[in-house]
Amino acid sequence: MPSIAVEKDGFIATVTISNPGKLNAIASGMWIALQQSFSRLSQDDELRCVILRGEDSDFAAGADIEEFPQVRATKEQAINYHANLIAPALHAVAQCTHPTVAAIDGICVGGGLELACACDIRIASPASRFGIPINLRGFPLAPGEMEGLLNLVGKATVLEILLEGRIFDASEAREKGLIHRIASDVYTHAQETAQRIAAGAPLAARMNKKLVRRLAPGISALTDQEIQDAFSYMSSADYREGVQSFIQKRKPSFTGK
């Protein structure tokens, strides 16, 4: 069953994304669970670091597209899905009071990459793979999700990632600034990183996070009309084709309509 598990060991908590058989794709309920889990962890003053990882050999394959025909079939549903499911989860990770470390192995694409980028430190195994191939699903990146990626790596890299939809390796991800380090034993390395963080003064760490968020350049918020326009693709034949081709496991055929 899809789940978000939380384990605490002393000053360090580990949050694990699990969706067996689907490369840990993130179903609707899992986005909610991620938001709730990180919100609770932020209130735990005993903690000093949180590790985010995927179960077994993958981090996360993004949103569970197989449920889109039920939960994301109309423009209104799509706006709700991104504004009230994905965005709060990403916000809870990014705004977590404690330092966060993403331990990335295997597939880290789409919403999985967005979650990793919301963490403070990202460590990946040599076998990890990255990208946001939603151009093959017939839809763009939602505004609230693009903002975090844009702030991290800049517009040139964001456009390259989104326009090509290419899957790339850990070395290229490090070159692009998506990850900090590559480690052969990524989970041991993430634990060692978390222990170094936990050995430091927690109040100082929390203030460093707060000041970085406050001093970093911001982007003007979109207007309501711009948000509506961002989801105008929902009525297109290409969007329907993108989702159906994924479900039917075939190559999509887009018409631009």
Residue 238 is assigned to a structural domain of this protein: no
Q: Provide the pLDDT for residue 180.
A: 98
> What is the rounded distance in angstroms from the CA atom of residue 232 to the CA atom of residue 98?
37
The CATH number of the domain holding residue 94 is: 3.90.226.10
pLDDT of residue 218: 72
Q: Which range of residues forms the domain containing residue 84?
A: 3-185
Q: Is 49 part of a structural domain of the chain?
A: yes
What's the total number of domains in the chain? 1
Evaluate whether residue 99 is within a structural domain.
yes
Q: Is residue 234 part of a domain?
A: no
> Is residue 23 domain-resident?
yes
- Residue 153 located in a structural domain: yes
- pLDDT per residue, tens digit, the chain (257 aa), is 899 999 999 999 999 999 999 999 999 999 999 999 999 999 999 999 999 999 999 999 999 989 999 998 899 999 999 999 999 999 999 999 999 999 999 999 999 999 999 999 999 999 999 999 999 989 899 988 998 899 999 999 999 999 999 999 999 999 999 999 999 999 999 999 999 999 999 999 999 999 998 888 777 777 888 888 888 888 888 888 888 898 898 989 888 88
